[in-house]
Amino acid sequence: MRVLRPILLLIALGLLVVSVRQFMNGYNDWQEAQIAENAYRSEIRELEAKRDQLKQRVEMLKNDELTKERLARKRLGYIRAGELKFKIIKPDVVE
């Protein structure tokens, strides 16, 4: 009977150590999952904001005549009838 108690105590301590180790592994995995989830949620918010900006730009391009005119002038170099367009060219620097 005296030999049985220390053996049972050692078995119980071994099981306790194994259980704590398994718990810590699971806890670490859970923490990593929480960090990854927060990163994904942040990325989703950024993408939703970008999507909303792009939707707004599409609506402006569809419906706003001033935006269409400004874009045509800037990208395509269009001018209105009676306007003059000047192009300034920088001279090449010769050394």
**73/79 Cα distance (integer angstroms):** 6
Tell me the C-alpha distance between 50 and 33, whole Å: 26
Burial 51-87 (b: 16+ CB within 10 A, else e): eeeeeeeeeeeeeeeeeeeeeeeeeeeeeeeeeeeee
| Between 38 and 73, the higher pLDDT residue | 38
Q: What is the pLDDT of residues 11-60, one digit of tens each?
A: 999 999 889 999 898 999 999 999 999 999 999 999 999 999 999 989 98
pLDDT of residue 35: 96
Residues composing the chain: 95
pLDDT above 70: residue 95: no
